[in-house]
Structure 1
Amino acid sequence: MAGIKIVPINLFAQHDIRSKFEAVVLEMDREELNAYWIEQHYHGIRPPITQKSSKSLKAFLDGVEGSIGYLPKAQMDGTLRVLYEF
């Protein structure tokens, strides 16, 4: 994977899995994340691409080399590599 650009992907803000990811993995609430991305914006860093559904996120992960995201366990079908479970 050396030399491959990482492309982070998010689910839409109101998705339950995204809320769980932010709380458990990032250990941040929505207000903290919004403040973080406002600060990053001033440094020229963009937030992750957002997908409208876990199905579209899975399709993106399947089709874009270097993409990384999170999905409900039920959608894992062996085509993606699991890096962390929460």
Structure 2
Amino acid sequence: DGWRRRWYIIIFEAETRAGRRFDEILLLAIVASVAVVMLDSLPSVHDRAGALFTVLEWLFTLLFTAEYAMRILVVRKPLRYVLSFYGVIDFV
């Protein structure tokens, strides 16, 4: 369980340097994802950069899917996490 323990600490424990960095990167990705969706909703911006925004939206989707999968992989009781409040919020 060496890699699982290490990743559990990074993902779920914000008191560590790696945990804080993980949270910062995740928050930055969330803000960037929302910004891309907002900008893409503007017709004039969409006309110029719609294809780029589509690629970025897919990349964010893949990133968030990988992050959710890692959370499930590192917990001891995956189903319990998935059905928990935070598990549902992460899924949504």
TM-score, normalisation: structure 2: 0.23
Give the number of the structure whose residues are more often helix, by fraction. Answer: 2
TM-score, normalisation: structure 1: 0.24
